[in-house]
Structure 1
Amino acid sequence: MKKIISEQAFLLILVSTIIIMTNILGYSMPIRDSILGVGVLAIIALMGLIINKIMSRFIKLPAMMYVSLLGLLLASPVSPVSELVIGTTSNVAFLAPTTALGAFAGISLGKDIKDFAKMSWKLVILTIFVITGTFLGSVTIAHVVLKLTGAI
């Protein structure tokens, strides 16, 4: 367990460094605010990964679920640390992590390029359906919420 946690922590530090640099250079955010905000996000991610490791003995669910749920709980109004979480993470540009994510996705795709080439046109059709479905679902939810709140 210690080995896995230390590996995850190392990867989070690496990704956090890239996000901090992107946040500072690309979005002109103050260094201190960037480090604090990304640090809080990294701690939430590490805690979610630890919870996933513990819970995987009982039920197999994606680690992202635990990380997202933990982040939502810590930022919710009922949480005693919500002001700290929201205050520090609001200083991280929303698009800053996408740079690191894109780089890692590119590296991952490059590693499996032969398998990717075998999928050919099927992947393009699947991608179109996924993007269309996601867009229509988001639009529908947004429309319903805006109608219920009286914004439209």
Structure 2
Amino acid sequence: MQRTIIVPLSDNEEYEEAIIVHERCLAGRMNVLQEDHQNTVESLNNLGSVYAGLKKYEKTLEYYERALNGNEKLLGKNHTSTLMTLENIAVINMYLKNFGKAEELYQTALEGYEGQLGKDHKNTMKCARLFRNSLATSGNEEERLLALTTAYPWLNEDDA
């Protein structure tokens, strides 16, 4: 039920109010369920997303990394929820201009998506696009960019 309340607040950019609601939700889940419960991990991820909306990227990373640790423990490293959190962390590292770290995370997420979902799944394709953009932005990864566009030829068509 709280998710119904929280999402519209975030969508309406009422981030400060959303943080209060998310923190209250997280505190309750930490108290009742502990940190290693999937609902608590979901709250960590949600709070990270609100901080991302505020462009408070260090705080965002703090929550996303806690969510990643929880997902890895509960679901495993190759579960799609874990991979999505990994991808979110890569995006934030791009905003922070930590290109090497972002590219490493995108590579790991992309390999996981491909193994779990296949090359043509929308999550794999989205991650491949983000990875391509990361490599292109950093400007010093031509060899890896070529390997990526060879593995995913449609990436070249995105620009057409």
When normalised by structure 1's length, the TM-score is 0.28
Structure exhibiting the larger radius of gyration computed from Cα positions: 1
Higher relative contact order (CA 8 A, sep 6+): 1
TM-score normalised per structure 2: 0.27
